[in-house]
Amino acid sequence: MRQVKYLVVLCAIIFVGCREYSHKNKADKISGSPSINQKIADLTVKQQLAKSHYHFVESARIQLEINYFTEVNELNDDAMRDELERKYELLRSIFIEEQANLKHPPKRFQKKFDYEQKDVPFRGPDFTSVYHPKVLAEVNRIFKEYGALYVGETDPEKHGGFKGYKAYRPWAGYWYPFSDTSIYTLLEKYEQVLEKSGIKADIVKKEREMFEGFSTANWEGRCDALAIAGILTKEPIEPLTINGITFGIEEQKGLKVYAYMNYPVAKYGISYEGNAATDGTFQDVKPEAFHKMATIYLKANRPFVVDTVAGVQKWNRSLFSLRVKITKDPIVKNAFLVRAYPTFVKERREKREDVTNTDDYMGLIYDYRLYYDPNTKNADGHYKVIAGQWLGDSFESHPDSFLVPYSNKQPSSTNQIFNNHMDFFKTKFLQY
């Protein structure tokens, strides 16, 4: 009885509160308003109460309102206020519809719900309108930097209904896992070249000091540096002899990988670690963020790095091609269905002397839904996207984060002694 009474009261508070927050006193919705901050604080208290009683639907509904006020607080353009109001009216309607379909949630979901908690991925209830605060911030960051995402149906009469985006193809090479000590042999060979040029550098000694005895998982390595070097430098196509010492194709690639281990990049997305800090962020990167980044960079002929594994492991590969087919969702209102075929250059699991070829490609399939505001279009007649949802296998297998290498920066390794002689390396290994 007590539980029922609590639930009735809580639902009444939330219902009234949501209506009040949604429709009343629009004039006081000013960025940084103390009243808005107080509303967020009050809602947070109510959410904690709901969580403590395992009322996960109420907790999710309150989070949706917290997200709304968080975005209101960040508004710096009054003209965008009406769009934001429409966005959250649509998100609330999506939530109500999903709640109606949620009749028998799995027990493991009842006790573990925290926004979109997916520590152990499962096909359970997914409130697509309710973003974890960190996920919402990351999506908004991308849209603030690159502009909103507008989409429309692809032409079914052209290219089988697909639209393509393609940048130049980066090169592939060995990924040098941290457990592979052959990197020391390669660096010793490079030290010999330096010594013949009158330069004494204890690169290997420094490397051993940093990594020897370092315990790593079998998947940990230099795949991020490989992808970055493959994007930013030319592929070696023949052996190179310097001071009488010859480096094969893979050895040249290996030194480039080493030289780009600390290259400056812009990172987008939350790297899921399976810990408290990333709890509930498994659905990041959201599909609308992926769609925006991929289309804008590939159209600009700029491949970039994608961690293609949504879980704890990190497998960074360079994305250089994407085909998408966009159709109106026949069931869900104000939504498009997208099937995307990204193509990556993957890491080689063994050292090889051949140049990059189609054997080095990795194609994936992503399925997702994009919700849009039917009242906001661009000049092309495309609709503004307000939310996204990974579908099918992509619910558990989707991009985790992006690395965008800056242009024209100095190569940088994690080994400062190597960096001290970077001009020599650039002259001998990058000038061709």
Structure confidence by residue, pLDDT tens digits, 205-219: 999 998 877 777 788
Average the pLDDT over 209-231 and give the result: 88
CA-to-CA dists, residue 296 to 45, 145, 236, angstroms: 40, 12, 29
What pLDDT does 366 receive?
97
Q: Examine the pLDDT at 232 and tell me if it is beyond 90.
A: yes
pLDDT of residue 304 exceeding 80: yes
Res. 334: pLDDT tops 60: yes
Mean pLDDT of 13-41: 58
As a whole number of angstroms, the distance between CA 394 and CA 364 comes to 10
Q: How much is the average pLDDT of 33-59? A: 88
| For residue 356, pLDDT beyond 80 | yes
pLDDT in tens, 86-96: 999 999 999 99
* pLDDT > 90 in the chain, percent: 69
For the question of whether the overall pTM of this predicted structure is more than 0.85, the answer is yes
Q: What is the band of 17 on the pLDDT scale with cuts at 50, 70, 90?
A: very low
* Average per-residue pLDDT for the chain: 87
Q: Is the pLDDT of residue 179 over 60?
A: yes
Q: Give the mean pLDDT of 222-229.
A: 97
Is pLDDT above 60 for 360?
yes
C-alpha pair distances (Å), 47 with each of 54, 94, 115: 10, 20, 11
- Residues whose CB is less than 8 angstroms from the CB of residue 24 and which lie 6 or more positions away in sequence, other chains included: none
For residues 146 and 212, which has the higher predicted lDDT (pLDDT)? 146
pLDDT score for 126? 63
In the predicted model, what is the mean pLDDT of residues 143-162?
A: 95
pLDDT band of residue 174 (cuts 50, 70, 90) is very high
Q: Are 186 and 254 in contact (CB under 8 A)?
A: yes
pLDDT at position 3 over 60? no
**Residue scoring higher pLDDT (272 or 288):** 288
Residue 429 pLDDT greater than 70, yes or no: yes
Whether residue 285 is preceded by a cis peptide bond, meaning omega within 30 degrees of 0, is: yes
Residue 13 has pLDDT above 60, yes or no: no
